[in-house]
Structure 1
Amino acid sequence: MKKEEIIVLLNKMTLEEKIGQLLQLATPFFEGAKSEGEITGPLAQMGVDRKDVQYAGSVLGASGTEEVQAIQKAYLEKSRLNIPLLVMADVVHGYETIFPVPLAIGCSWDIPLAQKSAEVAAKEASASGIHVTFAPMVDLVRDPRWGRVMESTGEDPYLNSEFAKAFVKGFQGEDYPNNHDHVAACVKHFAAYGAPEGGRDYNTVDMSERQLREYYLPAYKAALNEGCEMVMTAFNTVDGIPATGNRKLMRSLLREEWNFEGVLISDWGAVKEMIPHGVAADDKEAALKAIEAGVDIEMMTSCYVNHLKELIENDDVSEEILDQSVLRILTLKNKLGLFEDPYRSATKERETETVFSERHRELAREQAAKSCVLLKNENILPLKKTEKLAVIGPFANSKDILGPWSWKGKVENAVSLIEGMKNYFSTENLNVAEGCGIEAGTDEEMNEAVAVAKESDIVVLALGESSDMSGEAGSLADIRLPDVQRQLVKRIKEVNKKIVVVLFNGRPLDLDGMIDEVDAILEAWYPGTEGGAAIAELLVGKRRPSGRLTMSFPYSVGQIPVYYNSFNTGRPKGAPNAQERYVSQYLDIPNEPLYPFGYGLSYTSFQYHEAILSSQSLTSEGSITLSVKVENTGDVTGEEVVQMYIRDVAGEVVRPLKELKGFEKIALEPGEARTVEFSIEEKDLRYHHSDLIHRSDEGEFIAYVGPNSRDVKGYSFSLKNR
C-alpha cells in the first residue's frame, strides 16, 4: 500500500477501531490460540471484552506458524477493514536455538558474530510467524545486584552502542523489510532502566540529565540511527516522572530532538503502573498522560480502550494525537507487507527447515566459546585428556544453562557440561557427582562428591545460579555463590588441591569464599543451547578462551556500583602527597574491582610493545594515530582484544579516569606480532558540558592502550580547536 492509501484507510476507521489499534493483548485472549480461554487471575481482571479483543492491533507471545496463522485467520475473518495483527515476542538471544545471554555476547567483543546471532534469532522467529522482537535491550548497567544485567552488554556506553547497532542490523537485515527472514527490532527500555536504586528491579532511577545523556542514552540512539523500528518504555522514573508518561523524554527528546517516527510501546502494564507510581489518580488519568507522552501501544492494560474515547469526546485529548499513533502502527504493518501477506511467508515447511538447524547450533557453539571469560588460571588449563577427571557440582549435569529469557528454548535440547566432557574423556577417566543443589544439599551428596574428588587427578566444579535467580525480578542483595556451594568448594579442597571452577550465572558475582581456593575460574555465564559442548572445547584446549569482561567483578558487594569509567574525586587514593587516611577509600577492601572491565586471560601470553602517537597535537580538522605492536609470546594461537582508552585531563565538568574509544580483536600465531592502529579525531573527545551541549575542550588528553581498562600505558597529546 502507498502512504496515501494508508491515510485513506485511517479515515475509514471508527473511533473505537482506532483506539483498538493501540491495544496489545497476550496470546490467550485471541481466538485460534492454543491457550485460548486461559484468561484467569490478573488477565481476567483487565476489563476488556470480546469486542476489545477483536479491535486489538497486536498480539504478544504467539509463536509457531500453526498458532500464529490460526489467530491471524480468525482475527481477519471478523475485521471490517482487513487490518492484520502485528505479532510480537521476546526473542532476546535466540528463538529456539539459544545463544549465550547478551552480557555474555558482549564479553566476546565480537561485533560481527553478535550480528550473526541476531540474524539466526530473526530467521527462526520470522519462520515461526513473529513480526517484531522486543530486543535489543541496551540499558547500561553498573549494579550486578540487578538481575537484568544479563540482558545488557555491560557498563560502557561506547561498547553498548556498537552491540546495539549490530543487534539491530542482525534482526532487521540490510534488505529489511523485504527479506522475510528478518523481523522488526524494538530497542528497550527507554530510558535508564539499568540504573535502579539498590539494584532492585522496577525501582526509582534518579540522575542528572547530563549523566543520562553521557552514559545511558547513547546506545538507544545508536540503535535508532541503525533504523530500529520500535522503542519500548521503561518501568522506572526519569527525573521523577515514570518513563511511560514522561512527555519531555518521549515527545521532546525521542520524537522532536531525535526525530524518531516509529512506534512507541509501553512495557507490560506500565501505563496503569503510573497509578502506584503516584502520578495518576486512576486509569483515565494514566491513559491521558501516556497518550500525551506519545505512547502508541499500551501493553496488557486497558486504560486506552476504556478511557480514550471519553477523553477525546470531552476534548481532553485531540483525535489528531490518536490518529498519529494509529498511522505509525499502520505504517509498520504496511512496511512489513502484512496487508498483502498477513502471514509474511511463514509456513510449516519453512519453520521445520529453519528452526534449530545444525548450522544455527554451530554458530551458537562458536558464540558460547567466544563469550566465556577465563578469570584465573594457575597452570592447570587446558586439561589433559589422560588425566582422571571429576566433574562435580549442581551444574555438572544440569541443562538449566539457557538463561531466564530463553522463551522458546527447550531445556532438553541443551548440551550439559558432562555431555560435552564425554566427547573428550573416556568413561574410565570421567567421574560425576552433584555434591549439592543450587541452594541446598544433603550430607550424602556432599560425601559422595568428596569421595569422587579424592580418587581424581583434577576436579572441575560446575557452580552458579539457577536461571530464576537472575533476569527480570531476579534482584539479589547477596551476590555470592549460595552458602552450600561455597561449602562444597572447601570440602573438595580438603581432598584435592587441583580445582577448576566453571561458573554459570547471569551477573558478575562476589567471589569471596571461593576465589582463593581454586586454581582456575572460567566464567561461562548462561551459555545457551550448545554451552556444554563449547565449554568442554575450551577446557581441553580445542578452542582458546578469548572473552573479556564488559562488566566489572566486585571485590566485595559493598563496592557496588563499581565500574571502570569512574571519576577521580578531589582526594584520590594514591595521589602524590595524599594523607594516608583522608582520601577516598575503603578501610577494609581495595577501591578497585576484583576483575576490571576488559579483563580476561588466554592460554598464551601477549606482549605490548611501546606505542607510538603520530603526533602529540590534534586539531579539530585533523586526526592522529596511536599505533601499538602486540606480540604472541606464548606457545599456542590466541586472540587478544587490544583496547584504547582516552582521558580528558581537565574538562569543563569532571571527566572519567578513562573511557573506551576503540578496540580490535586480533588472532596471533605463536611468535607472530601485529601492529594495531587507532585513529583519534576531535569528535572522539566530545562530551556533554554543563549546558548539555556536546563539544570538546582544548587542552591535554591521555590515550591509553592495553589488554584491559586497568593494565594500560598512557601517551599524552593536546587538542587545539583552532
Structure 2
Amino acid sequence: MEQAKLTALVQEMTLAEKVDQLLQLAADFYSQAAEEKTGPMTEMGLKDENIQNAGTILGLAGASEAKRIQKEYMEKNRLGIPTLLMADIIHGFRTIFPIPLALGSSWDLAAAEEMAQISAKEAAVSGLHVTFSPMVDLVRDPRWGRVMESTGEDPYLNARFAESFVKGYQGDDLKNDFTRVAACVKHFAAYGAALAGRDYNTVNMSERQLRESYLPGYKAALDAGAKLVMTSFNTVDGIPATGNKWLFRDVLRQEYDFDGVVISDWGAVKELIFHGVAADEKQAAQLAIEAGVDIEMMTTCYTHYLAELIEEGSVDEALLDEAVLRILELKNDLGLFENPYRGASVEDEKVILSPEHRQAAREIAQKSIVLLKNKADILPLNSEETVAIIGPAAASHDVLGAWSWQGKMEEAVSLLEGAQAYSSHLLVGKEEFDYFAPSQKAVAEAVSLAQKADKVVLALGEAEWMSGEAASRSDITLPKAQIALFEAVKAVNPNIIVTLYNGRPLDLNGIDEAKAIVEAWFAGTEAGNALADILWGAFNPTARLSMSFPESVGQVPIFYNCDSTGRPYESAPNEKYVSKYLDVSNYAKYPFGFGLSYSQFSYQDVVIDQTELTPENQILLTVTITNESEQTGKETVQLYIQDLVGQVVRPIKELKAFQQVVLAGKESRKVSFAITEEMLRYVHQDQRTISDAGAFLAMVGPNSRDLTAVTFNLVK
C-alpha cells in the first residue's frame, strides 16, 4: 500500500479505533473458548470492540489458528486492517538452538544468522510476523537470570551479533520473503545493568557510560534495519524507560533516526505507577505517549485514558496519529495489506523441526560448547574406555533453556542418548537423579558406577527455571547436593569430566579438582548429540567465552574491560593499599574470550608495519599462529587495544576485532588486523565520540588475558 493511502487510512479512523491500534493483547483474547477471555476482559475493563480493533496480538502460534484469527479479525474490523502477530522467538521456534549467551560463545556470526533465519522460517510458516529478538543488553553480572538472553559482556561483540540476528530474521526483502519475520531489538536501554543483578531493579549510570558501553548494541541492530524497539523495565537516569522522553524522542528518534515501532514490554506502561512517576493510569498513558511508545503491551492505560487526554487537550492527537501510522507502516512493510495470511501454511509446517533444522541446531551447538579445562588431555574419550555417565543432567531432557516457548523437552536429545552413538562401554544408572536432593539410593548407585569406570562424565548444572526472566540468584554456585556428589565420586575415581548445562556463568568452587570441565550451556534440541560430539572428539572445540566466569560470586560484577584505577593491583601486588581483595584474586577464573581446543596454538612474531597512526592511514598488525598439534583446529584470534592516556579514564583493554582461522596440524599462518583511527574513538565528557592523540597498546592473543602487546601512537 502506498504511503498516501496509509496516511488516508489513519484519517479515516475514529479516535477510538486509533487508540485500539495501540493495544496489544495476548492470544487468549482471540480463543474460541469463551471462558479463556471472559475473565481477563472483565479484569482489564475491555469491550468486544477493543478486542476487535486491537492492533497487535501476542503469543499465538500455529498456521490454522493464525489464519482463523486473521480472517475473523479482518471481518470484524470496520476498515479491514489486518492484525499483527508477535511472539518471543529467542533462540529457536520449535527447533531450539543454544541460548544466546552460548551463541555469543561461538564467536561465529554466520551461525547466529543461520539460527535466526531458521527460527524465522519456522515462526513465519506458523503465522507469526514479529519476534521479540534480539536482546542486545550488555551483561556484566551473572546473578541476573537474563544474561542467558544476551551475547555477553563486550560492546563490540554484542554489536556484531546484533547485526547478524537482525539480518537472519529479516533478510533482504521482508515484504515479499514470507520466510522472514520482523525483528524487535530490546530492551532499550541498559536493562542488563540492573543493580545487584536483581531483575527489574534500578539502573544507575552516567550518560557517558550508557553511550559508550550499552547503546552500541542497540544502534548496531537498528543500523541493520530492525523494525521495532522494545522498552526496558528499568530506569534510565532516574526516569523509567517506558516514560523516558529523552531516551526515545531525542536519542532513538532524532539521533538514531529510527522511524519504526516502539513497543512497551509486558505491563510496563502501567508499571510507571509503581515506579512512582505516575499517580494513576491516566498519567501513565500521557507519559508513555509523550515519550513515544506506540504499542502498549497487555495493560490498558491507552485504551481507557488516551482519548480522554486528547479530548481535554492534555495530549496532542498528532502523537496518536504518528503512532498509528508507524504501526500501519510496519504492517505494510510485512506485506499484510496485500497478503494478510502472509507465510502461514499448514502444508508447509512440515519444515518445523525438520532433519535439516535439527542438523543445523547440532552443528551450531557444537560451536557454542566451551572446553574450560582439560588436564592431562583426559578428553577426548575413546570408544574402548569404560565411561560412567552419571549425575542429574545425564539422562535429562531439560536442555532447552528459558525462552524456548514452542520447544518440547521430549523432542530434545539427552547426553546419555548422544553418548550411545559413540560407545557400547557406558555405565548408566537406573535411579532417577534430582538436581537438588537426590535420593541416597541414586547417589550410592552413581558412586558404584564411578568405581567401575575408567573415566566418569559427571553431568551437572542448573535446571531450566534457574535462569531467564525473574530468575536472579545471589548464590551462583552449583547446588550443594551436586558438589557433595562430586566429592563422593572423586573419592572412588578422580578421572572426572564435569559437563554443565546452565544459563549463566557459575561460581565453580567445589569442582576444582575435576580433570576436565565442559560448559555446554543450555544447548537446545540437539544438546546431547552436540555434547557427545565434543566429548568423544568428533568435533574439536572452538567456542570462547563471551562472559567471564568469576573465581567467587563475591567478585561480581566482573568483566575483562574494567577501567584503570589509581592504585592498580599490578603496580604493587604485594602491597596492601592497592585495589584488591584480601581473600580472592582480582581476576576471573575463566576470562572473556577463553576456551580450549584439542589442538594447541602458539602466537609468535607480533609486529606492526608502522608505529604512527593518523586519521588518514592505518596500521597493519600481523601475528603468526601455529597449530602445534597434529589435529586440525579452529582458533579465534582476538585484537584488543588500550588507550594509555585519555580525557576520561579508559578500560584496561577493549576488543576491537577478531578472526577465526582453521589450521591443519603443524600449519602456520599469518593473521593481520588493520588498526584505524575510528577504532580508537570513545565517548568524551561532552558526549562527543572522538579519539585522542597519544600512545596506545595493541594486544593480540587467544583470550582477553593471554596477550602480546605492541605500542603505537595516534598523531592528529
TM range (shorter): over 0.9
Match of 2:162 in 1: 164
Matches within 5 A, 1:94-493: 94-352=92-350, 354-378=351-375, 379-426=377-424, 428-432=425-429, 436-493=433-490
SS at match of 1:580: coil
What CA distance in whole angstroms lies between the structure 2 residues aligned with 1:37 and 1:526?
A: 36
Task: Tell me the CA shift for residue 522 of structure 1.
Answer: 0.3
In the alignment, does 2:80 pair up with 1:82? Answer: yes
- Measure how far apart 1:177 and its partner are: 2.6
TM-superposed deviation, 1:667: 1.0
- Alignment correspondent of 2:517: 521
In structure 2, the residue matched to 1:560 is: 556
SS of aligned partner of 2:385: coil
3-state secondary structure, aligned to 1:332: helix
- 2:570 partner SS: coil
What is the alpha-carbon distance in structure 2 between the residues aligned to residue 283 and residue 687 of structure 1?
A: 40
Question: Does the aligned pair in 2 maintain the 1:137–1:188 contact within 8 Å?
Answer: yes
Letter in 2 for 1:475: S
Letter in 2 for 1:652: Q
1:25 and 1:448, CA in 2 relative to 1: closer, same or farther beyond 3 A? same
Amino acid at match of 1:558: G
Q: Classify the secondary structure of the residue corresponding to 1:656.
A: coil
The one of 470, 494, 506 aligned to 1:509: 506
Matched, 1:620 2:618: no
Letter of the structure 2 residue corresponding to residue 639 of structure 1: K
Alignment partner of 1:702 is 2:700: no
- In the TM superposition, what is the alpha-carbon distance from 1:432 to its structure 2 partner? 3.3
Secondary structure in 2 matching 1:479: coil
CA distance in 2, matches of 1:264, 1:537: 42
Q: AA paired with 1:10?
A: V
Counterpart amino acid of residue 634 in structure 1: S
SS at match of 2:107: coil
Residue aligned with 1:609, SS: strand
Equivalent position of 2:626 in the other structure: 631
Q: Deviations over 1:248-289 (max 9, x none)?
A: 001111011111000000000000000010000000000000
Report the TM-score when normalising by structure 2.
Answer: 0.99
**1:538 has 2:562 as partner:** no
Unaligned runs of 5+ in 2: none
C-alpha contact (below 8 Å) 1:436/1:485 kept by paired residues: no
* Kept after mapping to 2: 8 A contact 1:436/1:488: no
> 2:567 aligned with 1:583, yes or no?
no
Structure 1 counterpart of 2:12: 12
Say how many residue pairs are matched: 715
- How far apart are the structure 2 equivalents of 1:119 and 1:145? 31
1:354-391 Cα offsets, whole Å, 9 max, x none, are: 11111111110001000000000012000011011110
Q: Which one is further off, 431-440 or 622-631?
A: 431-440
Could you say which residue in structure 2 is the equivalent of 1:656?
Answer: 651
- For the pair 1:28 / 2:34, whether they are aligned, the reply is no
User: What is the alpha-carbon distance in structure 2 between the residues aligned to residue 382 and residue 430 of structure 1?
Assistant: 18
Conserved 8 A contact 1:147-1:469:
yes
Q: Give the residue type in structure 2 aligned to 1:529.
A: T
Offset at residue 199 of structure 1 (A): 0.3
Give SS of 2:121's match.
Answer: helix
Cα shift readout 1:130-159 (whole Å, capped 9, x = no counterpart)? 000000000000000000000000000000
Cα distance in 2 between the residues matched to 1:202 and 1:680: 39
CA distance, structure 1, for counterparts of residue 519 and residue 41 of structure 2: 39
Contact 1:391-1:433 at 8 Å conserved across structures = no
Deviation sequence 1:582-636 (CA, Å, 0-9, x none): 0000011000010000000000100101211011000011111111110100121
Secondary structure class of the residue paired with 2:210? helix
Structure-2 separation of matches of 1:108 and 1:436: 30
Q: Which residue identity does 2:223 align to in structure 1?
A: N
Q: What SS class does the counterpart of residue 113 from structure 1 fall into?
A: helix
In the alignment, is the contact (CA less than 8 A) between 2:41 and 2:47 conserved in 1? Answer: no
How far apart, CA to CA, are the structure 2 residues paired with 1:367 and 1:64? 26
Once the two structures are overlaid, the 10-residue window that deviates more, 434-443 or 447-456, is 434-443
Give the distance between the partners of 2:42 and 2:267, measured in 1 at CA: 14
Offset of residue 35 of structure 1: 6.0
Alpha-carbon deviations, 1:293-312, whole Å to 9, x = none?
00000000000000001000
Specify the code of the residue in structure 1 equivalent to 2:59. Answer: G
Matches within 5 A, 1:19-58: 19-30=19-30, 33=31, 37-39=35-37, 44-58=42-56
- Cα separation, partners in 2 of 1:350 and 1:634, compared to 1, 3 Å: same
Secondary structure at 2:605 match in 1:
coil
How much has 1:430 moved relative to structure 2?
Answer: 3.6
Counterpart amino acid of residue 700 in structure 1: A
Cα deviation, residue 340, structure 1: 1.1
Is the CA contact 1:630–1:673 (under 8 Å) kept in the aligned structure 2?
Answer: yes
The Cα shift of 1:441 comes to 1.5
Shift of 1:40: 7.3
1:63 equivalent to 2:61? Answer: yes
8 A contact 1:375–1:522 mirrored in 2: yes
TM-score (norm 1): 0.98
8 A contact 1:571–1:582 mirrored in 2: yes
- TM-superposed deviation, 1:579: 6.4
Task: Provide the rounded CA distance (Å) in 2 between the counterparts of 1:44 and 1:358.
Answer: 45
C-alpha contact (below 8 Å) 1:376/1:521 kept by paired residues: yes
Name the SS of the counterpart of 2:192 in structure 1.
coil
Deviations 1:189-239 (A, max 9, x none): 000000000100000000000000000000000000001000000000000
Cα 1:552–1:324 shift into 2, 3 Å: same
Distance 1:573-1:42 versus aligned 2 partners, 3 A rule: farther
Which letter does structure 2 place at the counterpart of 1:12? E
Aligned to 2:706: 711
Aligned counterparts of 2:664 and 2:583: Cα–Cα separation in 1: 43
Gaps of 5+ in 1: none
**Aligned-pair identity (%):** 57
State the Cα distance separating 1:434 from its structure 2 match. Answer: 5.7
Tell me which amino acid in the other structure corresponds to 1:585: K
3-state DSSP of counterpart to 1:8: helix
Who is 1:2 aligned against? 2
Q: Is the 8 A contact 1:627 1:676 kept in 2?
A: yes
